[in-house]
Amino acid sequence: MPMTSTTSLLEENPLLQRWATPFGLAPFDRIQPDHFEPAFAKAMADQRLELDTIAGQTTQPSFENTVAAFDASGRLLARLEGVFHNLCASQTTPELQAVQRRLAQPLAAHNNAVYMHASLFARVDHLFKRRNALGLDEESLRLLERVHLDFVRAGARLRGPEQARYAQVMEALADLHTRFGQNVLADESAYTLALKSPSDLAGLPAFVRDAAADAARMRGMSGHVITLSRSLIVPFLTFSERPDLREQAWRAWTSRGEQEGPTDNRSIVREILTLRAEQAALHGHRCYADFALEDTMAQSQSAVMGLLDQVWERALPALEGERGQLQSLMATVGQSGPIHAWDWRYWAEKVRHSSYAIDDAQVKPYFALDRMVLAAFDCARRLFGVHFLHRPDVVLYHPDVKAYEVTRSDGSAVGLFLHDNFARPTKRSGAWMSAYRLQSGLSYGDLALGQARTLPIIVNNNNFAKAPEGQPTLLSFDDVRTLFHEFGHGLHGLLSDVRYERLSGTQVLRDFVELPSQLFEHWMSQPQVLQEHARHVVTGQPIPQATIDKLQAARNFGQGFETVRYTASALTDMAVHGLGLGQVPQDVVAYEAEVLQRYGLPAGVGLNHRYTHFQHLFSGSSYAAGYYVYLWAEVLDCDAFDAFKEAGDIFDPTTAQRLLQCIYAAGNRVEPGQTYRDFRGRDARVEPMLKDRGLIPEDG
């Protein structure tokens, strides 16, 4: 391309211009996929120049001229990554996916260049060795320690051929992670189960039929279709009277990434596992699990397995008790034989209705999405003094997304919150929180928009089935839990109050990051929250106390099923990442089945995620050898919520202020075990979690 064309392209590229938009949000209406590659090329070159300048200083290393300067580098790159990765997950296109594939290797190579910068690491290492003599405050010392560890874990201490090979491994993994995630999305987007006759719709409540009709319309089809969106397929498996159709849908859902052809993830999983084993070996570890767990609260496989084994042993009898209830009900209607995995939810719903008088179709009208969003906002206000103001004037990347300006009670700015709640073919499955911009106590030029600090822009993604035009979207009780869970993550990002971006918000140890999210779930099921916010979508009447009592009574029914499914996935994760070099199986699907047989996974239950679509593990490395973290954090969150029970008020101001300061605002400026002790006054105890799941008696 001629130089004039390149220069013109860069000058016209909205990604490289100052964003004169509300809150400095990206100008989504002007961004095209072909803007990203030249913008990233410039951003990476800019940061390399910054790092060369830091490393080339003739003055002695100091915290400010090396570590703080490093934390402040790469502002343009951080801005681009926030936009790019969020769009790839939430509103992708074939063109954007092609860019994502092309950028995977260059971005990984840039990360290698940053953390394998020998002169820069030498300065960081010099400071790290003298850290106790530098007179640093607690947060600065924490930043130095974390930055040094980032360099070490990225291969900075490796030399010669080993470091070169490490760089190759990381670049190859980046490409494989991208391909894995895109394959899962392709399988989810391509599948539809058409419901063509009235008998195909048998048993489906109105909200499922409406969602299936909307899914058909979104795909240019008539009638009703079931897709592999969790918000649609789980209700279908729960209510459909057609076991043959339930089986079809279940098999498609559980075999994502396991079909011959371009979206087959089996060989990709094997390649990822092989490269991770090599990555761990280059660091001197026997297996990837040992490498990954080194930087966690758990620290070792034995600690993780101690928790998983304890829960597994208690969950199996609970599951069999539930199976007995299902089979008893089946017998009363003349049904016999085994309960298949595609039948379990259906019969569990029948038991829930007959034993607890809970009917999801009758309960959902009390849980309109808009009211539940307001409930989450109100809980945040009462706990932390923050307010959410809808900003319909903010231009976003999809009409379904809503923006909220977040302020404190005194009017001071907190940040911007984006809520992206609905499933669509261009969005990956699941629910997650991410950031367009992280909080820090420093100003980074035009990104701070005149503020003395950088305000966060946080997004929550859910995949709820959208109601037909003009009708309210209704949530299940589990959907409400998901909404509160992700909002807890969102608060963790929004309420962060740290000086340095590396320590901001959710950038904590992986088995601590789920604490703020899972803890916030507790408020959604509290009677006083339900009585105030759960109101019938037609009559406006609050949910009856009798219904709340039934929901509470039924709360632990199904926990055996859910606990076994979750723990089984965590066990398969730990097993496969516990394999060393040369041990990765040729057939990962057969190995997964072998692990489940070894642990005695009961028939007809299944597991939350199978290797071929286990995005936690294989669309990135964040949760690899780390799916256990939800259970680890549950020990913390149940124990933490007990602090409010002990105070006698779920909105106790003193406890809430301590929670804000020690957990939600602290980011990673304090070691997580210590920050939990600062809040609770002691280490967490496991008993509240076991009681909450109904795995031991309340008085046990």
Catalytic residues: 486
- The shares of helix, strand and coil residues in the chain, as percent rounded to the nearest 5, are 60, 5, 35
**DSSP letter assigned to residue 16:** G
Task: Check if the beta carbon of residue 397 is closer than 8 Å to that of residue 413.
Answer: no
Angle (CA) 664-669-675 rounded to 5° is 60
Tokens of 600: 């005695």
Torsions phi, psi of 426, nearest 5?
-90, 10
What whole-number distance in Å separates Cα of residue 401 and Cα of residue 392? 10
| Gap between the Cα atoms of 441 and 424, Å rounded | 36
- The span from the CA of 250 to the CA of 682, in Å, is 44
Q: Which residue has the tokens 């974390």?
A: 146
Rounded to whole angstroms, what are the CA distances from 21 to 453, 470, 660?
18, 30, 30
Partners of residue 389 on adjacent β-strands: 405
Q: Please check whether residue 425 is in contact with residue 218, taking contact to mean a CB–CB distance below 8 angstroms.
A: yes
Distance of CA 530 to the CA centre of its chain: 25
Ramachandran class of 246: left when φ > 0, alpha when ψ lies in -120 to 50, beta otherwise: alpha
Q: Are strands 413-422 and 402-408 parallel, antiparallel or unpaired?
A: antiparallel
How far is the first Cα of the chain from the last one, in angstroms, to the nearest whole number?
A: 73
Residues with Cβ < 8 Å from 649, sequence gap 6 or more?
Answer: 655
Burial class (CB in 10 A: 0-12, 13-18, 19+), 265: buried
**Contact status, residue 359 vs residue 632, Cβ threshold 8 Å:** no
**Residue 495 DSSP one-character state:** S
DSSP letter for 418, please.
Answer: E
Residue whose C-alpha is closest to residue 522's, from 481, 476, 475, 462: 481
Distance CA 636, CA 615 (A): 25
**Exposed, middle or buried: residue 480 (CB in 10 Å: 0-12, 13-18, 19+)?**
buried
Distance CA 276, CA 533 (A): 47
- Beta carbons of 236 and 226 less than 8 angstroms apart: yes
Q: Which of 281, 278, 406 lies closest to 664, judged by CA?
A: 406
Q: Rounded to whole angstroms, how far apart are CA atoms 229 and 428?
A: 9
What is the enclosing helix (H) or strand (E) of 314?
A: helix 301-332
- CA–CA gap between residue 53 and residue 62 (Å, rounded): 14
DSSP 660: I
